[in-house]
Amino acid sequence: MSDSKDNTQTAGSALIPLPDPSPVLKEMLDIYPPKVARKRAKHIRVNDPHDVPEVEANVRTIPGIITQRGCCYAGCKGVVIGPIKDLVQIVHGPIGCSYYAWGTRRNLANQDPSVESYMPYCFSTDLTEDEIIFGGEKKLRAAIQEAYELFHPKAIAVFSTCPVGLIGDDVHAVARQAKADLGINVFGFSCEGYKGVSQSAGHHIANNGVFKNMVGIKEPETPFTNPFRINVLGEYNIGGDAWEIERVLTRCGIEVVATFSGNALYDQIGQSHHANLNVVMCHRSINYMAEMMETKFGIPWIKVNFIGADSMSKSLRKIAQYFDDAGLSERVEAVIAEELSALKAVREDVTRRCSGKLALCYAGGSRSHHWRELFKDIEMRLVSAGYEFAHRDDYEGSRVASSIKVDADSRNIEELAVEADPERYRPRKTQEQVAVLEENGLKLATYDGMMPDMEANAIVIDDISHHEMEKMIEFYKPDIFCSGIKDKFVIEKMGVPCKQIHSYDYGGPYAGYKGAANFYRDIDTMINSSARRFLKAPWESQPELQANFAVRPEKKKG
Amino acid sequence: MLDITPKEIKPRTALRINPAKTCQPIGAMYAALGIHGCLPHSHGSQGCCSYHRMHLTRHFKEPVMASTSSFTEGSSVFGGLANLSQAINTIFTVYNPEVIAVHTTCLSEVIGDDIPNIIAKAVSEGTVPEGKFVFHANTPSFAGSHMTGFSSMVRAMVHYFSEKTGAESGQVNIIPGFVNPADMREIKRIASEMGVPALLFPDTSDVLDTPLTGKYDFYPPGGVTIKQLRTTGDSLRTLALGPFASEAAGAYLDEKCDVPCDILDLPIGIAATDRFVHALKNVAAQDVPASINYDRGRLIDVMNDMHRYTHGLKVAVFGDPDHVTSMVEFLLDLNMKPVHVVTGTPGNRFERRMTEILEGRLPDSNFSANADLFLLHQWIKNEPVDLLIGNTYGKYIARAEDLPFVRFGFPTLDRIGHQFKPHVGYTGALHLLESILNAIMDRQDRDATDETLELVM
């Protein structure tokens, strides 16, 4: 494969099929102890988009393997709940857990002076040895009281960390009591770090808690009137993505009731049951919410992807198709035409330099699929991808969801029993309307997964290890590698630019049309940065240079 | 920014807001990276390891390698023996380190995993290859802070490896404290200039400040070797820099191998560096060389020449206790007034040392151990300052109160410089002074009117 890299494609020419990567896969697994090799082999698949193979996912990482994965708490507090900006979030545990979630994800929030934003604050019960021995409930109660007296927030959320689960503090009982005493909403999340096998368990626990304690508890002061109103689920406003998405939606005449949970307000989530459609961005972290809201309130959901210009357009058209309104469709088409035309110059310019270049991408639970679309915009090829904490349906599509076996680690995560709300359940579409939509190609409540969109012979790796990452770089010698902060400088040291797609390397937004332009430019600058040209010193590559580095002036002959 | 922090200070007993510390394991992970060929191993849930690696990487902008026992709910019920045993096997097979440095987490501490027993079992079962090592430190996250974790891991190096053989080594141990690779490099340079054969442990220079070459070294060339660690028991003396980070190991080495130990403040600023150089001079029994005197002289030159910009300015300082202690003394030597001083790490020792330093010079200063940035901000609201010095998290307060801000200490996530400019020694003090002066001068320029803008300063 490394040879073929020199024959990178020029725009418009047919793509060279990817070679069979089996030899590198064998080499990759050879180093492992036999049992580990057998397990890892199930996570690594050569793709066939027409007959997608089964990928082992959402199972334990083998102890000792250097993994990208974090914990349940990181998924719950760090990802899903963290962005809700006017919610006081107290982490019940030793100081580290709260400290590390303090301002470290780039879920931006605008600071409206009329709203109390707790984004730059970090709250913890900072448990010490005494509380670990004698119990921490008393301290938690006091902490909630102190937070209330200082800030008088609308609501307080409490997060359990590993030792809290072991010493048996009942955070839910403390929260219930505080709620009764203070007259504000107080609720807990049992998201101890050891639960599940990755952040994914925390997403699920967060979804359950938001659904039970926040969704549907608020009625709007003035009723919603725009029929084209939606919730954007699984969009965390990294680098300002949610703002760009909302800008475009607003231009089309589509109103966002709530974003889950980038830049979100507590009350927006409270009244999110008034939306007429849920659009799902990050399927992995929020699909539970989409399903529960459909069951309880009758709000259908569709999978969208606002990352990548063409995919943004496609998603807008899907929303218009759902609402089935000629005026809306017309506006959407006009906006798409205008936005694409504004993007045309930069896209063409960057494509000239980036077309045919190779990208690898391993991160998150939905991002790799989304990012593929951005690379496609500028004719780059995503030749291998994978996820850090996805489940099989994120790879293979919803069709396999029912056949995923539930193991001991997943069984411990509560599945809420949800029923239609006796008063508020209101199906947004009749069965006949749904049938027509589906006949016309709009799939409701389903996700096709990443693999059907990937090339034949592309390698899919779940929960990639450090060792496997190094091997992939050696094999493909990619032009860009997408991952997170822990891998970032390893990859850069190897002379390959690494795009962090959790933090965007502190840039962005990358969603929508303006975001796409930012991404194209950033990828262009990374691929074409000068620094790597100096990796070899002149005396290493051109020893003869030494003899003639100085030009001597001709001596005048007198 | 931080608009809802009230000026009025109400006592808090339970709620920590905006901490000035983190938990033990990250310190242990950092210390372990200062051993050559070492893979730090976090015995707990995956999140701990992930967060520590993330944070260290953001500070150093370098690869930070570490593995985890990947606890699940099952392991938290049945104990982590199986996880750690399997991890040791996986690590030696796949990543082939010279040594694994295990540190615990709150989870494995509450479970009560007996790490020495698990290691002994791995050794007896042959999982640990000949000539390779596994050692450990207990680092419960619910006690102390990241400083304690660092200190415990360094002490563990002594516990597991230091030996007294009676051989004459003529070498001096230096325990550098929780400082950056550039600082460790500078400490070695100073010792070398002074003619002192020093062995630094841990030593993260050439581990967390490696060049970009296109080739990635999983185990970079730097770090103290296990062989060198063994010899620390035969050294003449130990200089332990920074009591919070280094005393435990220094004192234990004295107890275990009879190596006398001097506990010094971190050599940050002029007076603390003078004491460090003096201690080296005593060991070397020779004069301080001209090169070091020149370094010192250049520092005094700038202190003197630029004195009018620093004299009398009020400063708020926060960070790790060893750093803050020396910084406060340096600020006093610059005739500045460190009126508010906070460390998040608990310990009466810090407050005692602060009293010693501030007594007679600035007795009304506010200082507290086991405090947080919310309190510091409230103090600043009640008595405003001219300058804020601390780690990246001070950025919010600096913006809220419109303060010039000098980044100092761990973590520095949003600026470049600490990776390659030392803060220790005379050269380090000069770098700090440069940052302080430039921050003050930038502020003067920003606040000047067209009429009062000075071209020459």
**Inter-chain residue contact A485 with B54, CB threshold 8 Å:** yes
**pLDDT of res. B33:** 98
In this prediction, residue A12 has a pLDDT band, given cuts at 50, 70 and 90, of very low
Q: Given 3.40.630.10, 3.40.50.1980, 3.40.50.300, 2.40.30.10, which CATH number is that of B293-447? A: 3.40.50.1980
**pLDDT of res. A540:** 85
- Angstrom distances, CA of residue B287 to CA of B198, B282, B294: 17, 9, 14
Give Cβ neighbours of residue A219 (< 8 Å, ≥ 6 apart). A271
pLDDT tens per residue across span A354-371 = 999 999 999 999 999 999
Of the residues B142, B207, B416, the best mutation for testing chain A's interface (the one with the most A CB atoms within 10 Å of its CB) is B142
Q: A89, A304, A122, A370: which is closest to A210 by C-alpha?
A: A89
Burial pattern B354-375, b for ≥16 Cβ within 10 A else e, equals beebbeeebeebbbbbbbbbbb
pLDDT 10s per residue in chain B (457 long)?
999 999 999 999 999 999 999 999 999 999 999 999 999 999 999 999 999 999 999 999 999 999 999 999 999 889 999 999 999 999 999 999 999 999 999 999 999 999 999 999 999 999 999 999 999 999 999 999 999 999 999 999 999 999 999 998 899 999 999 999 999 999 999 999 999 999 999 999 999 999 999 999 999 999 999 999 999 999 999 999 999 999 999 999 999 999 999 999 999 999 999 999 999 999 988 899 999 999 999 999 999 999 999 999 999 999 999 999 999 999 999 999 999 999 999 999 999 999 999 999 999 999 999 999 999 999 999 999 999 999 999 999 999 999 999 999 999 999 999 999 999 999 999 999 999 999 999 999 999 999 999 999 9
Is A468 within 8 Å of A476 (Cβ atoms)? no
> Letter for the amino acid at A317?
R
Using a CB-CB cut-off of 8 Å, the residues of chain A touching B41 are 64
> Letter for the amino acid at B251?
A
- Angstrom distances, CA of residue A29 to CA of A38, A40, A487, A511: 8, 7, 20, 36
Report the pLDDT averaged over residues A115-125: 96
**Inter-chain residue contact A122 with B17, CB threshold 8 Å:** yes
Question: Which stretches within A18-125 are classed as H helix?
Answer: 22-30, 34-41, 72-73, 95-100
Using a CB-CB cut-off of 8 Å, the residues of chain B touching A531 are 212
How many CB atoms sit inside 10 A of residue A334's CB?
12
Cα A122 to Cα A125: distance, rounded to the nearest angstrom? 10
Which of A66, A100, A495 lies at the smallest CB-CB distance from B51? Answer: A100
Report the pLDDT averaged over residues A512-522: 98
Tokens coding B143: 């006690």
Is A124 within 8 Å of B19 (Cβ atoms)? yes
Strand bridging mode A44-46 / A123-124 = unpaired
In this prediction, residue A7 has a pLDDT band, given cuts at 50, 70 and 90, of very low
In this prediction, residue A541 has a pLDDT band, given cuts at 50, 70 and 90, of confident
Statement: residue A1 has pLDDT above 60:
no
Report phi then psi at A318, rounded to 5: -65, -40
Q: Is A364 left (phi over 0), alpha (psi -120 to 50) or beta?
A: left
Is B266 within 8 Å of B186 (Cβ atoms)? no
Which of A73, A127, A535 lies at the smallest CB-CB distance from B47? Answer: A73
Report phi then psi at B312, rounded to 5: 85, -5
Tokens coding B431: 């770098």
Which CATH fold topology does B172-289 show?
Answer: Rossmann fold (3.40.50)
**pLDDT of res. B20:** 98
Is A74 within 8 Å of B51 (Cβ atoms)? yes
Query: Could you give the 3-state DSSP secondary structure of residue B341?
Result: strand
- Angstrom distances, CA of residue A370 to CA of A307, A315, A350: 6, 12, 19
Report phi then psi at A414, rounded to 5: -60, 135
Which of B15, B62, B63 lies at the smallest CB-CB distance from A143? Answer: B15
Shortest Cα distance, chain B CAs vs residue A515, angstroms:
23
Q: B4, B8, B13: which is closest to B372 by C-alpha?
A: B13
Q: Given CA atoms A238, A241, A243, A245 in this order, what sign does their dihedral have?
A: negative
Tokens coding A237: 């406003």
Give the active site residues of B.
Answer: 106, 110
The verdict on whether omega for the bond into residue A261 sits within 30 degrees of 0, i.e. cis, is yes
Query: Could you give the 3-state DSSP secondary structure of residue A400?
Result: helix
**pLDDT of res. A3:** 41
Cα A427 to Cα A421: distance, rounded to the nearest angstrom? 11
Cα A11 to Cα B160: distance, rounded to the nearest angstrom? 61
Burial pattern A52-88, b for ≥16 Cβ within 10 A else e, equals beebbbbbbbbbbbbbbbbbbbbbbbbbbbbbbbbbb
**pLDDT of res. A552:** 57
| Cα A115 versus chain centre, distance | 26
Query: Could you give the 3-state DSSP secondary structure of residue B358?
Result: helix
Question: Which stretches within A272-308 are classed as H helix?
Answer: 283-297
**Inter-chain residue contact B212 with A146, CB threshold 8 Å:** no
- Angstrom distances, CA of residue A283 to CA of A235, A245, B47, B198, B360: 10, 17, 22, 56, 63
Class of domain B24-161: alpha beta
**pLDDT of res. A111:** 86
pLDDT tens per residue across span A170-219 = 999 999 999 999 999 999 999 999 999 999 999 999 999 999 999 999 99
**Inter-chain residue contact B70 with A90, CB threshold 8 Å:** no
pLDDT tens per residue across span A398-438 = 999 999 999 999 998 999 999 999 999 999 999 999 999 99
Q: B351, B353, B343, B348: which is closest to B320 by C-alpha?
A: B343
Average pLDDT, chain A: 94
Question: Which stretches within A62-136 are classed as H helix?
Answer: 72-73, 95-100, 129-134
- Please count the residues of chain A: 558
Q: B340, B50, B380, B413: which is closest to A103 by C-alpha?
A: B413
**Inter-chain residue contact A95 with B16, CB threshold 8 Å:** yes
By percentage, how much of chain A surpasses pLDDT 70? 94
> Letter for the amino acid at B243?
P
- Angstrom distances, CA of residue A165 to CA of A51, A162, B138, B302: 43, 5, 20, 55
Tokens coding A450: 């990443």
Instruction: Write down the number of H helices and E strands in chain A.
Output: 22, 14
Which of B2, B64, B215 lies at the smallest CB-CB distance from A120? Answer: B2
**Inter-chain residue contact B72 with A467, CB threshold 8 Å:** no
Shortest Cα distance, chain B CAs vs residue A188, angstroms:
16
Cα A105 to Cα A556: distance, rounded to the nearest angstrom? 68
Q: What is the DSSP secondary-structure string of A195-256?
A: SSSSHHHHHHHHHHHHHHHTTT----SS----SSEEEEEEE--BTTHHHHHHHHHHHHTPEE
**Could you report the predicted ipTM of this complex, rounded to two decimals?**
0.98
Give Cβ neighbours of residue A544 (< 8 Å, ≥ 6 apart). none
Query: Could you give the 3-state DSSP secondary structure of residue A261?
Result: strand
Output the CA torsion A543→A544→A546→A548 (10° steps). -160
Is B253 within 8 Å of B233 (Cβ atoms)? yes
- Which residue is it, tokens 């030392």? B422
Sort A167 into a burial class: Cβ within 10 Å, 0-12 / 13-18 / 19+.
middle
Which CATH fold topology does A72-210 show?
Answer: Rossmann fold (3.40.50)
**Inter-chain residue contact B10 with A129, CB threshold 8 Å:** no
**Inter-chain residue contact B89 with A495, CB threshold 8 Å:** no
Sequence ranges of the domains in chain B: 24-161, 172-289, 293-447
Cα A79 to Cα A88: distance, rounded to the nearest angstrom? 15
Strand bridging mode B337-342 / B314-318 = parallel
Tokens coding A155: 């609501």
Statement: residue A45 has pLDDT above 50:
yes
Tokens coding B357: 């330093």
The verdict on whether omega for the bond into residue A509 sits within 30 degrees of 0, i.e. cis, is yes
Give the active site residues of A.
Answer: 71, 74, 105, 203
Which of B16, B69, B74 lies at the smallest CB-CB distance from A125? Answer: B16
Shortest Cα distance, chain B CAs vs residue A489, angstroms:
5
Shortest Cα distance, chain A CAs vs residue B368, angstroms:
17
- Which residue is it, tokens 């193991």? A407
